[in-house]
Amino acid sequence: MEINKKQKLTKKWFIKLKNIIFNILGDGKEKKNLEKLIYKLGLEKKVFLLGKIKNPEKFYLNSDLFIHASHQEGFPNSIVEAINYNLPVICSNCKGGTKEIILNGRGGDLFPIGNHKILANKITAFFENQKPLIKKLTLARNNIKKFTLKNNVKKYDKLFSGL
């Protein structure tokens, strides 16, 4: 998530979500800035930067919501994995395969890249009423079946058979 001078995450928003813990997996060029922001806001007990994780299964299994805040993406395997682990998803509206996987917002929620206010509102709305996003998850689970290895092998077989 990009934080610029005009947009600031506030501790008040994190306090509003009292029982929420944010585990951030992965690395990127903003890690140092996020570490400083977490320290500045006194959120060391609520927000954890865990870096690259080889086997994230335990995080999927122990989570209620998956947030994907990339600025651009190829094929976002992590979103497919989250859906496979039955996690509702909120994703940035970035270029790449994200919108296809969550059916342009029908299979999960989208927010504009870098807009932390809309993201915060979507997270808050989810924890106030999980039903709408869980309903979208059902559509997403049906949609990701087309991305299975078996289905893709069938498509390649059909393609090569026609040559």
Q: Is 16 in the same domain as 86? A: no
- Helix (H, G, I), strand (E, B), or coil: what is residue 99? helix
Same domain, 48 and 71: no
Domain span at 50: 10-54
Confidence band, pLDDT 50/70/90 cuts, at residue 49: very high
- pLDDT tens digits, 119-151: 888 998 999 999 999 999 999 999 888 777 677
Question: For the chain, how far is it from start to end, CA to CA, in angstroms?
Answer: 45
Lateral strand order in the sheet of 66-68: 66-68, 89-92, 109-111
- Per-residue pLDDT at 78 exceeds 60: yes
- Examine residue 1 and state whether it is found in any structural domain, yes or no: no
Same domain flag for 44 and 67: no
Confidence of residue 18 (pLDDT cuts 50, 70, 90): low
The answer to whether 101 touches 80, Cβ cutoff 8 Å, is yes
**39 shares its domain with 61:** no
Phi and psi angles of residue 73, each rounded to the nearest 5 degrees, phi first:
-155, 150
- State the average pLDDT over residues 106-129: 91
| pLDDT given at position 70 | 84
**What's residue 154's pLDDT?**
78
- Whether residue 67 is predicted with pLDDT greater than 90 in this model: the reply is yes
For residues 96 and 125, state if they share a domain. Answer: yes
Within-domain flag for 158: no
pLDDT tens-place string over residues 24-37? 888 888 889 889 98
Which helix (H) or strand (E) is 22 found in, with range? strand 22-25
Contact between residue 53 and residue 25 where contact means Cβ atoms under 8 Å apart = yes
Report whether pLDDT(5) > 90: no
* Same domain for 66 and 24: no
Structure-derived torsion over alpha carbons of residues 28, 71, 46, 108, reported in degrees to the nearest 10: -140
* pLDDT at position 10: 56
How many Å apart are CA 35 and CA 135, to the nearest integer?
A: 34
The residue type at 124: T
Angle, CA 72 vertex, CA 49 and CA 26 arms, to 5°? 20
The alpha carbon of 106 is separated from its chain's Cα centroid by a whole number of angstroms, namely 15
Residue with tokens 């979500």: 17
The stretch 71-85 carries a mean pLDDT of 87
